[in-house]
Amino acid sequence: MEFTAQKIAELLGGRVEGNPDVTIDRVIKIDGDETGGLSFLANPKYESFIYTTGADVVIVGNDFSPEKELTTTLIRVEEPYLAIATLLDMYNKMKLDKTGISENAFIHESATIGENAYVGDFAYIGKDVVLGDDVKIYPQTYIGDNSRLGEGSIVFAGVRLYHDTVIGKDCRIHSGVIIGSDGFGFAPTENNEYVKVAQIGNVVIEDHVEIGSNTTIDRATIGSTFIRKGVKLDNLIQVAHNVEIGENTVIAAQAGISGSVKIGRNCMIGGQVGFIGHIKIGNNVKIGAQAGVVANVQDGEIIIGSPAIDRRQFIRSTIHFKNLHSIVERLDNLEKKLGDSKV
């Protein structure tokens, strides 16, 4: 697929400086060796490469002022990084624009399939499933009975959605994700055995959510596990039963969220963060990588460490951590001197 610089500028609401008719068919790195194509300059530390890049077209900010002569056509926009993200998303949607139902797929007679849907080879669509318009179900995916997928959602190969799962509009579920498996619920007995507690709830995922590969989200014991609108989950995350993750929260890989944790809106959570169960995390919270969260967190807090504490307090404490050995030596020497003086 080829696009002119002018067409790209129109799509992004930008303006062209240079040749509006130059065509591009791919995106390249501004600091790479490739020639032709489209690149972008969003980080000032890469500015030197715009004078040597082989790209035919470069997206830049409205405030960019070249210090040398340029040989490339510019497209000026308000936010270059957001512009390239928008453009890449458009391009990716065109690549993923599959339609049609494979003869090798199983679709229960009670299922409802929307217009322009795609169901790939060996996919399983269960009883009373509803797929909205433009939904894409890639090969070898399992959609359990009575599940719902909203308009424009994409489920990549090898995903497993248990029964009664609800997914909103324009979601992306990547390969290996399992949604709706049983929560970890067992009742101990007097004989030190465990009786399974039936997990009869479901998982509800709202609009514009993206879930990375091999992430697991457990169904609720009773009620629903909720992933709210705009949430972005990285790969290899564990979300336990009855968890609620608030709107537009982002969580990096290998985080583990125990049962009944409530996470607020607009939070940023680093990789390998662990949460004990039944705590509440406020809105606009930031949690550093590998933190161990063992208590409620108030709105707007920034915490790190294990157990996690206020970031500033942790940084001050690290000074003492580094000097702990010398502090112990000084204490030992003082005790020895005090002991000698008593003699």
- At residue 342, the pLDDT reads 59
3-95 maps to which CATH number? 3.40.1390.10
In the chain, what are the domain boundaries?
3-95, 100-312, 313-343
Catalytic residue check, 241 = yes
pLDDT in tens, 23-82: 999 999 999 899 999 999 999 999 999 999 999 999 999 999 999 999 999 999 999 999
**CATH code matching the domain that covers 100-312, chosen among 3.40.50.300, 2.160.10.10, 3.40.50.720, 3.30.450.70:** 2.160.10.10
Q: Exactly one of 163, 208, 241, 278 is catalytic; which is it?
A: 241
pLDDT in tens, 195-208: 999 999 999 999 99
Residue 341: pLDDT band by 50, 70, 90 thresholds? low
pTM above 0.75, yes or no: yes
- State the greatest distance between any 2 C-alpha atoms of the chain, in Å, as a whole number: 95
Q: Do 3-95 and 100-312 share a fold?
A: no
Integer Cα distance of 185 and 259 in angstroms: 9
Name every residue whose Cβ is closer than 8 Å to that of residue 88 and which is 6 or more positions away in sequence: 27
Residue 90: pLDDT band by 50, 70, 90 thresholds? confident
Name every residue whose Cβ is closer than 8 Å to that of residue 100 and which is 6 or more positions away in sequence: 118, 119
Residue 15 has pLDDT above 70, yes or no: yes
**E strands in 206-285:** 210-211, 216-218, 224-227, 232-233, 238-239, 244-245, 250-251, 256-257, 262-263, 268-269, 274-275, 280-281
